[in-house]
Amino acid sequence: MADVFKPASEEELERRMMEGVRNRQEKLGAFQGRNDAVRQVDDSYVVGGDVEDWGSLNFGDDHLAVKYRVVGGNFSCGSRSLEGAPQVIGGNFTFHGELESLEGFPKAVGGDVVFINHPKPGNKPDAKRWTEADIRNICRAIGGHLTVENHYGI
């Protein structure tokens, strides 16, 4: 029987890494070219409209693509860390990722919060399950509904 699952060669790993670097640079350039994204002196961004930062899920990073301060519209992201997440979001906040800590969670969201967490792989019975109370303890101003889901084994 042939070995179907072979490890990638060093060349393939290097190619994938370089492709990821190019993709991140391309997406960051497009973000920085927005006329509603203003870079602050601390290198964070204030953005007038909607932002989707799925880069960390797509590229295997543990953090968001840039550091945000305020997002005036909706903010959607996926990551293993909310470090650099905007502290104020004018619209809805959608998170889909794998958090061990709520550090960096927004303090105020004008719309709905949809928080979908995937604890570490392996169906650890002791993995953190976040609750509505955990979220409300940090994000004290939510203008809409709060939905919290913890999914295991995905």
Mean pLDDT within 117-125? 64
For residue 12, what are the CA distances in angstroms to 8, 25, 46? 6, 20, 38
Give the containing element (helix H, strand E) for 14: helix 10-32
Bigger pLDDT: 29 vs 39: 39
37-73 per-position pLDDT tens digit: 998 999 999 999 999 887 655 555 567 888 999 999 9
Round to whole Å and give the CA distance between 102 and 138: 8
How many C-beta atoms lie closer than 10 Å to residue 135's C-beta? 21
Q: Domain residues of the chain, as ranges?
A: 10-150
Distance between CA atoms of 11 and 79, rounded to whole angstroms?
Answer: 27
* pLDDT single digits (tens) 66-111: 899 999 999 999 888 899 999 999 999 999 888 878 999 999 999 9
